[in-house]
Chain A
Amino acid sequence: MIFWKLFYTFCKIGAFNFGGGYAMIALIQDEVVEKQAWMTAQEFTDIVAMSQMTPGPIGINVATYAGYTAVVNAGYDPWMGVMGAFLSSFSVILIPFVLMLLLAHYLLKHKNNKNLNNIFSSLRITVLGLIAAAALQLATPANFGSWSQSPLQLCLSLAIFLIVFLLSLKKKFSPVLLILLSGAVGLVVYGT
């Protein structure tokens, strides 16, 4: 039953996400593309693109859209997909929400607890590896093109990747702008 699996999967993702929106993209990617195979790497990449361009926390946007896509890909109609979307976003916030109500008081009192600080500094470093793995797993021929089928697409994709990567390191460029520009390049090169 896909709804039960969605609930369980997104509860787990919410409960184990330490380290912000990109870490959550990594966890969602691992579950919905690699483990459950609810969608392809390409579909997931498109979802991330659209989640970047609409307002709100990216983790919520990706969870919502991925929940919708998982249900529709399983053969249900789009309105069941909408149910799946609400269920996924609800599930992803459920456990952190409950934990916050239970532990907020205690944690504020012990905010300098050294055991907690050790755990969090270890997690902060490890999460970098999770995000790197997600990027590697999304660098597929479907997303970049392949040498045998379209050398032009592969070369252009690598160029876009490098330029966007270097510009993002500078931080001044908003993701939305970079996505729009890359889309314009795609339109000009492939669309004409």
Chain B
Amino acid sequence: MAGYFELFWSFFKIGCFTLGGGFAMIPLMEKELVQQKQWLSKEEFLDLLSLSQAMPGVFAVNMATSIGYRLRGKTGAVMSVLGNILMPILTILALALCFRYFRDNAVVESIFKGIRPCVVALIAAPVFTMAKNAGLNWRNCWIPLLAAALIWLLGVSPVLIIIIAGLGGFLYGRFINKKEAAA
């Protein structure tokens, strides 16, 4: 059985070695928790993975919460989450504290002038790479277009749009598309 410290340590390692966001953690978690420690079966892991995707919040943290909770209850969940985020938080904080001294440096500013359009492109690209998995097609593409226009042009809150979209999905399945929903 997984001890609290063991849980912490496993998620600590996973937190330290993932660059590029939560989904990059999946293979590492699978290797560590399913194959090496054998704390979870492959099926359980996939169940917790889809649960973590469905829940709001940060995907990797949700994985740590659900796996920690499944293995050692509430304390296990706390230990796993702490392990997972400790190193990332300390690293980014150290960077934040150092960057204060370099922000006005001419060399650093010239580097960031190159980086900024790159970052905007990195945010724009997932709109298209995620579209297929999200099930985007010609019939529903008005939804993200309308959402983007409302936020960008009218300053509507994204949170409000999330609430309306969730409600809309529920009502659509309930009243308009009963057959497809039942199938």
Residues of A within 8 A of B (CB): 12, 14-22, 24-27, 30, 34-35, 42, 45-46, 48-61, 64-65, 68-69, 72, 78, 81-82, 85-86, 89, 92-93, 95-97, 99-101, 103-104, 107-108, 111, 114-139, 143-145, 153, 156-158, 160-165, 168-169, 171, 174-176, 178-179, 181-187, 189-191
Contacts and interface: CB of A to CB of B under 8 A. Distances in A.
Given A52-B122, A130-B161, 6 more contacts: A17-B56, A55-B16, A60-B85, A97-B65, A107-B54, A168-B121
B43 to A, nearest CB: 11
24 contacts: A17-B58, A24-B58, A49-B118, A56-B84, A56-B85, A57-B59, A58-B20, A60-B89, A100-B55, A117-B173, A118-B170, A121-B169, A122-B143, A122-B168, A135-B127, A161-B121, A168-B121, A176-B20, A182-B117, A184-B114, A186-B114, A189-B110, A189-B114, A190-B114
A130 B174 contact: no
Contacts of B51: 100, 104, 107-108, 111
B165 A122 contact: yes
Contacts of A121: 134-135, 169
B88 A56 contact: yes
Nearest to A94: B57
Contacts of A48: 119, 122-123
A16 B117 contact: no
B18 A55 contact: yes
A66 to B, nearest CB: 10
Given A122-B165, A161-B118, A56 B93 contact: no
Contact of B88 (A60, A145, A171, A176): A60
Interface of B: 15-23, 25, 47, 50-52, 54-62, 65-66, 69-70, 74, 77, 81, 84-85, 87-89, 91-93, 95-97, 99-100, 106-107, 109-131, 133-136, 140, 143-149, 151-152, 155, 157-159, 161-163, 165-166, 168-170, 172-174, 181-182
B129 A168 contact: yes
Contact of B110 (A17, A175, A191): A191
A169 B128 CA distance: 7
B124 A132 contact: yes
A53 B22 CA distance: 13
Contacts of A137: 151-152
Contacts of B145: 129
A96 B56 contact: yes
Nearest to A124: B134
A130 B111 CA distance: 28
A82 B93 CA distance: 7
B20 A175 contact: yes
Which of B23, B69, B95 is the most central at the interface, judged by chain A CB atoms within 10 Å of its CB? Answer: B95
Contacts of A144: 116-117, 120
Contacts of A157: 113, 116-117
Contacts of A58: 20-22
A123 B166 contact: yes
A27 B159 contact: yes
A103 B170 CA distance: 19
B69 A100 contact: yes
B116 A34 contact: no
A129 B20 contact: no
A130 B161 CA distance: 9
Contacts of A45: 116, 119-120
